[in-house]
Structure 1
């Protein structure tokens, strides 16, 4: 049985460290350094504001020109694949 101390999950400090977005990603989230979690939130805001989810499969993101620059030229990616692409645009 787990104790209460072990049950409380500690936040990963690497996830809250501000990272500098590339020019392609900055076109969507802004040019200020942001934690990874904030980058993901801002990209989702952009996706929803521009209606870029495939209506037939909400897990698929249909990339416009700005997102294609982040997604390596792909016109569609899964929401699970999206984070892999962000890693190449954050330093």
Structure 2
């Protein structure tokens, strides 16, 4: 058997783990050359990519949880302009509205000073903290 055929049969099988107690103490003649190790790594990577691509066909998961579009209340519809939206997108659009209308407190950017539309959504509150927004939006998403 030639060196190349034994190399390819060795690589095509499942790689066996090699445990070296202390590679630094072994003579260089025992360790494989850098070129050989690079070829093995490339071959194993190519084989693993090919088998993983065949084994797992890509299928689209249905959105669920906060990524599932839900119908919203009339107050939130007036602010966002849509009847159904994902929670994540609603939060993004509210932040865009706040920044567009310059409604952040100049001293503390994590606090929103509400205008009339936001007061309807946030229960009549004048100021709302950054971390309070998702909790205040929950009642506006209908089940």
TM-score (norm 2): 0.54
Counting matched residue pairs gives: 80
Question: More strand by proportion, 1 or 2?
Answer: 1
Structure 1: which 5+ residue stretches go unaligned? 1-11
Larger relative contact order (Cα-Cα within 8 Å, sequence gap ≥ 6): 1
Q: What residue in structure 1 maps to residue 8 of structure 2?
A: none
Q: Which residue of 2 aligns with 1:68?
A: 119
What residue number does 2:80 align with?
Answer: 29
Q: Please give the alpha-carbon distance, in whole angstroms, between the structure 2 residues aligned to 1:68 and 1:24.
A: 10
Instruction: Answer yes or no: is the 8 Å Cα contact 1:23–1:31 preserved in 2.
Output: no
RMSD: 1.2
Higher helix share: 2
Tell me what 1:82 maps to: 133
With normalisation by structure 1, the TM-score equals 0.83
Greater Rg by CA: 2
Work out the CA distance in 2 between the residues paired with 1:40 and 1:33: 13
